């Protein structure tokens, strides 16, 4: 215990003996730190926090099969967060930020090649903007750091406004494609139905209406149900390909359903001499007039069932297209910060003081622990090094 006290006392005596060296070294390091903190540009940070609205289920009746317009493989708030993060990290979105705030000039990029200048600005933008997702709450934080507190808040708030605008545009475009697809199918069905009604009218004008035997009606009814169901699934299959790839599980399932129904239709056709690939019957037990009437009546029924199925889809798609609801809820709007992000002058000065004092103290302690011969050898070594360099 006494040896330890003597050692500590010796150290304190050494430090007191070289107090001037320690003082001036610590002072010089501290002054250098103060100068650095004053010269270093001030960085101001602003943060905006948003929460995506949970995606509403599509109003399309078979949206449960297709996953809804514009949906991804995730769900709810998490899905919306991923979509918005993807948009904000896209190149087109970043270039719109650079153009809006003239960041090429802000970053002092003097590259004559406009494409290189834009790429350099994109790289610099990644350094001043941080976008991160809170996995628990689903909120997205957009943090912007610039030399101007007002600029930081304006860029962060523009991120919020622009991502909402771009997301709405994407949803509207998807809805428009779905509406146009369904609109074409509705138009085709209406044209075919009008043609069949004219044909039926002409047929009835020339011939008396003939009643089809009950067993033939049952066969036609069964065949009609299968064909209409097959057509519905084919519409879902084509519709899904607008929003997903051909190898998705939903596409494969729909393809299997179509194959199964086609086998059943083929079986009925073979059993009842259904030779016409356009769903027209030709049964030996029915007279020619009865068969012709049955063909027209069956086609009208098929179109009617398909029309009943597709019109609500079309109307729902029209509603989806004109809806322009916001995609996000602003939790915290960015505002100019009251405190700079960097430099932290007080922290820099304290750390510099501690480093200067510790380094100078350690230096005098090491030097005091060396013998005179060791000091001479150290001086000779240092002198030799300097001679070789000169």
Is a pLDDT exceeding 60 seen at residue 278? no
Is a pLDDT exceeding 90 seen at residue 204? no
Which of 96 and 12 is assigned the larger pLDDT?
A: 96
**Residue 142 β-bridge partners:** 48, 131
Q: Write out the CATH class of domain 44-175+325-332.
A: alpha beta
pLDDT tens per residue, range 31-54: 888 887 777 777 889 999 998 876
Q: Which residues contact 165 (CB under 8 A, 6 or more apart)?
A: none
- Cα–Cα distances (Å) from 307 to 186, 187, 189, 199, in that order, read 7, 10, 7, 19
Is a pLDDT exceeding 90 seen at residue 120? yes
Domain edges within the chain = 2-40+343-389, 44-175+325-332, 177-322
Is a pLDDT exceeding 90 seen at residue 155? yes
Q: How many CA atoms lie within 13 A of 356 on its CB side?
A: 22
pLDDT in the model for residue 70: 42
Query: What average pLDDT does range 143-165 have in this prediction?
Result: 91
Query: Of 95-104, 125-134, 265-274, which gets the smallest average pLDDT?
Result: 265-274
Output the pTM of the full model.
0.55
Which of 266 and 245 is assigned the larger pLDDT?
A: 266
Query: What average pLDDT does range 144-165 have in this prediction?
Result: 91
Question: What is the separation of C-alpha 202 from the centre of its chain, rounded to a whole number of angstroms?
Answer: 57
Name the percent of the chain lying above pLDDT 70.
Answer: 72
- Cα–Cα distances (Å) from 65 to 131, 137, 250, 323, in that order, read 33, 28, 7, 22
Highest mean pLDDT pick, 28-32, 115-119, 348-352: 115-119
Which of 193 and 60 is assigned the larger pLDDT?
A: 193
Query: What average pLDDT does range 112-123 have in this prediction?
Result: 91
pLDDT in the model for residue 303: 80
- Mean pLDDT of all residues belonging to the chain: 75
Which of 248 and 181 is assigned the larger pLDDT?
A: 181
Which of 130 and 82 is assigned the larger pLDDT?
A: 130
Burial of 33 (0-12, 13-18, 19+ CB in 10 A): buried
């Amino acid at each position: 215990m006494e040896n330890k006290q003597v050692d500590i006392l010796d150290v304190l005596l050494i430090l007191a003996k070289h107090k001037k060296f320690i003082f001036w070294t610590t002072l010089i390091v501290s002054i250098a730190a103060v100068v650095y903190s004053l010269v270093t540009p001030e960085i101001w940070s602003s943060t905006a926090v948003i929460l995506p609205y949970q995606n509403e289920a599509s109003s399309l009746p078979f949206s449960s099969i297709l996953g809804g317009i514009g949906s991804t493989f995730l769900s709810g708030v998490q899905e919306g967060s991923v979509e918005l993060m993807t948009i904000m990290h896209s190149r087109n979105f970043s270039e719109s930020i650079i153009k809006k705030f003239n960041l090429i000039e802000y970053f002092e990029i003097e590259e004559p090649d406009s494409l290189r200048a834009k790429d350099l600005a994109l790289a610099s933008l990644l350094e001043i903007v941080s976008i991160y997702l809170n996995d628990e709450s689903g909120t997205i934080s957009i943090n912007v750091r610039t030399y101007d507190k007002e600029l930081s808040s304006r860029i962060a708030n523009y991120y919020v406004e622009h991502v909402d605008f771009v997301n709405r545009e994407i949803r509207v475009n998807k809805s428009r494609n779905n509406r146009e697809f369904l609109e074409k199918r509705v138009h085709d069905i209406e044209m075919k139905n009008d043609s069949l009604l004219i044909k039926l009218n002409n047929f009835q004008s020339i011939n008396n209406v003939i009643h089809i035997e009950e067993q033939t009606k049952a066969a036609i009814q069964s065949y009609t149900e299968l064909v209409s169901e097959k057509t519905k699934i084919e519409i879902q299959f084509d519709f899904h390909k607008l929003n997903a790839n051909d190898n998705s599980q939903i596409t494969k399932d729909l393809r299997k359903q179509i194959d199964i129904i086609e086998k059943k239709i083929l079986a009925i056709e073979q059993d009842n001499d259904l030779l016409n690939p356009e769903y027209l019957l030709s049964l030996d037990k029915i007279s020619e007039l009865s068969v012709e009437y049955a063909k027209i009546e069956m086609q009208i029924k098929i179109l009617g069932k398909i029309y009943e199925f597709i019109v609500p889809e079309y109307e729902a798609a029209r509603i989806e297209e004109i809806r322009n609801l916001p995609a996000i809820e602003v939790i915290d709007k960015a505002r100019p910060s009251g405190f700079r992000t960097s430099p932290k002058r007080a922290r820099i000065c304290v750390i510099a003081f501690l480093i200067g004092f510790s380094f100078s103290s350690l230096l005098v302690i090491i030097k005091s622990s060396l013998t005179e011969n060791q000091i001479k050898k150290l001086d000779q070594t240092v002198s030799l090094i300097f001679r070789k360099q000169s």
